[in-house]
Structure 1
Amino acid sequence: MMDAPSRRVSAQLADRLFDIRTIYHEPEIDRFARAREVFDRYPDAERIVVPSHGAIPGLYGNRGSVDDWVRLKREVLVLGEKKSLTARPNGRSSDWIAPSTANGCAMSCSYCYVPRRKGFANPVTVFANIERIVGYLERHAGRQGVKAQPNQCDPSDWVYDIGENSDCSADALISDNVSDLIDLFGRLPNAKASFATKLVNRQLLDLDPREGTRVRFSLMPEVTSKVVDVRTSKVAERIAAMDEFVEAGYEVHVNLSPVIVHEGWLEEWADLLDQVADGTSARTKAQLAAEIIFLTHNEDLHEVNLGWHPQGEDLLWRPDLQETKQSQSGQINVRYRSAWKGRWVAQLNDLVATKLPECQIRYAF
């Protein structure tokens, strides 16, 4: 149970991010206990039945929705059932991508890849069949057995990314799905959960992760974050929380991402790494590892962003520095030109080795 200070802080954070007035939900979703809990949490919200959580007329695919991009994230919630349960192999950030327990996000980072497939709105969807998802993951981890060889994901545990399509710190303000997952991986002997976050939710400190969950705080220089990390916790607050999460039994890593190249970018990253080095304990630094991910942007998302946050595109959309690449789904992505990017990756790797020598770089691209 959360103590009083944690309850107050969590309530304040939830109030800042959410004022749920409309809940779109699939038919008979209240057969799931988790859906009933969410309805009870927002008793005054209008409930609208829709055929599917992914097909909501007037919301997804509606160009006019972009004008209300942030308002929809604050006021709209979707409840659905996750019907296809598959743990996809990854091998980079994690061994497996777990089936999502949520999709979408209350925050509005303008580089986020999740809304690329949705169109012009991206509120949070909560999947209510959490018992089935937890059961699937427990059986899947059991089939893996002991991890025979260390890899870049982890030396001993099979790592499952539980937040590929959402931010678990925000999801935990809406339902107990994240709490259930942290409890699961706390008792699995051969597996751990992992999720990246840009939100400091101290409600998570009152759980018992038993070193079975890796929290990856996403960091970038504050001056850039203020432009593109909309509705997130300040970078300084994320750094300040790292020791608290380690003390609470979490493994804490950092995502240095996305790295956005602009004039003076490397000097800004040097200052950020100094902040991490000076702002964390020896215990935190001793277990620290990093993922470095340079920006990939998207042509369709660029057009969406121009409708609600064009200032961010001055940083994200840089044709003078970028080249196009067609994704497997046929979308047109842009990334930094390969001839330059390789040099920039090496420069940032060297900077981490100098400024934060305790920090292992798990991968960089």
Structure 2
Amino acid sequence: MTLVSTEEADARPVARPRSARLWHPRRVLVTPAALEHAHGRQMVAQAEDLGLPVERLKSNRLTGLRDAENPRRAYAQAKATLAIVTAPPTKLKLQPIPPSADWRFDLAEGCPAHCQYCYLAGSLSGPPVTRVYANLDAILGNLESYLGQGGVTSASEARAAEGTTFEASCYTDPLGIEHLTGSLSAAIRHFGAWDAPVQLRFTTKFAAVEPLLDLPHHGRTRIRFSVNAAAAAHYEGGTAPLSERLAAMGAVARAGYPVGLTIAPILPVEGWPDAYDALLRDAAAALSGVAAPDLTVELITHRFTPGSKTVLEGWYPGSDLPMREAERTRKLTKFGSVKYVFPNDLMKAMRAHLTGRIAVHLPTARILYWT
């Protein structure tokens, strides 16, 4: 698969997507430590320019976020809060993130979307405040020491061309908050200027890609769009409509970015074979006119843990998301914890169907993994 050169991308006009809906938090908290960093002060200035209420805290702790008497209210308030903080030192010790990438690093934690299957429910503790990191220079400056040391793409013959890969969307959706932070653009510029076999990767359910189209990315950032069958749209509150995500994918592909589809979480919705076939047809249409797009596909089925189920049912009471243990297969993770996945026969059927239809609709795509 041929990556469009930066010179070719710069030489042709890029179709601009229509303006996307942007998240505006109801309150912005900022710690004293965050104000010690230029990026932190820049984010505060951006929030104030947007007319958002900014509260400068007296300490570096976020307090008063829990409400034992009304957890739903605590959830709603947390989801409407942006906290500008500093990443703790532990964030500078990167962890591998198979099967996606060699390493994960975090520009933020938390997400403004309201996905009823949110996997962060089982990963992050406490109310789901979106925390954005002010010490961006330290976060980006720390990456070089991990060059060539990964165990996913760096050690894979099939994916070696990607170089050392760094995942930036493990604990957040960086595009969904980019208009408030500028952190994603800074990371793309950093990787674009990094003359080494590296790749920045992130996935998003949002569509506000306009600020990214003219950045000097030099093909070192892969933008993946998290998509699902139309029948699953009601599980993805607060995100960009699927049509806008696919249009954004076409726009960044025409701007020379490598792109990707993260089809997740795959669910046996009513008429699922036709539903996912339609999704793939729409994705192919969005990439029409892009010669040999550098396109990857990641296929992730729905699963849940007892802990995440408890949290999600508290956040979204009344959801019809299928999380009945009796209809699932119980498995253990590599850490010894319990997770529930679809039965083997259903998994095989969904995998065969999706991989087959990808070959038909997106013949140049590389399927990275099924999980």
Q: Partner amino acid for 1:48?
A: L
**Aligned partner (choices 210, 225, 247) of residue 217 of structure 1:** 225
Shift of 1:271: 1.1
Contact 1:194 1:214 in 2 (8 A): yes
Q: 34-43 or 267-276: which moved more?
A: 34-43
1:306 aligns with 313
Give distance in 1, aligned partners of 2:43 and 2:98.
34
1:30 aligns with 35
Give distance in 2, aligned partners of 1:139 and 1:120.
32
**Deviations 1:162-196 (CA, angstroms, capped at 9, x unpaired):** 12110110231221221221011112221010001
Give TM-score, length-normalised by structure 1.
Answer: 0.84
Q: Partner amino acid for 2:56?
A: R
Aligned-residue sequence identity (percent) comes to: 24
Q: 264-273 or 43-52: which moved more?
A: 43-52
Q: Partner amino acid for 1:38?
A: M
Q: Does 1:160 align with 2:166?
A: yes
2:267 aligns with 260
SS of alignment partner, residue 95 of structure 1: strand
1:195 aligns with 202
| 1:68/1:360 CA distance change after superposition, 3 Å | same
Q: 28-37 or 83-92: which moved more?
A: 83-92
Q: Partner amino acid for 2:286?
A: G
Give distance in 1, aligned partners of 2:227 and 2:292.
15
| 1:358/1:171 CA distance change after superposition, 3 Å | same
The aligned runs of 1:1-365 (5 Å cut-off) are 9=19, 13-14=21-22, 17-23=23-29, 25=31, 27-43=32-48, 44-52=53-61, 56-59=62-65, 62=68, 64-84=70-90, 85-97=92-104, 99-119=105-125, 121-141=127-147, 151-188=157-194, 189-201=196-208, 202-225=210-233, 227-283=234-290, 286-312=293-319, 314-327=320-333, 332-365=338-371
Give distance in 1, aligned partners of 2:85 and 2:70.
23
Give distance in 2, aligned partners of 1:333 and 1:69.
24
Q: Partner amino acid for 1:101?
A: L
Shift of 1:326: 4.7
Shift of 1:328: 5.8
**Deviations 1:188-243 (CA, angstroms, capped at 9, x unpaired):** 22101000100011222232212110001111112212x11111111111111222
| 1:338/1:7 CA distance change after superposition, 3 Å | closer
Unaligned runs of 5+ in 1: none
| 1:47/1:333 CA distance change after superposition, 3 Å | farther
| 1:169/1:151 CA distance change after superposition, 3 Å | farther
| 1:142/1:273 CA distance change after superposition, 3 Å | closer
Shift of 1:329: 6.2
Q: Partner amino acid for 2:95?
A: R
SS of alignment partner, residue 147 of structure 2: helix
2:7 aligns with none
Shift of 1:60: 5.4
RMSD: 2.9
Unaligned runs of 5+ in 2: 1-14
Give TM-score, length-normalised by structure 2.
Answer: 0.83
Give distance in 1, aligned partners of 2:24 and 2:301.
30
- Give the total of aligned pairs: 348
Shift of 1:48: 2.8
Q: Pick the structure with more helix per residue.
A: 1
Give distance in 1, aligned partners of 2:167 and 2:139.
13
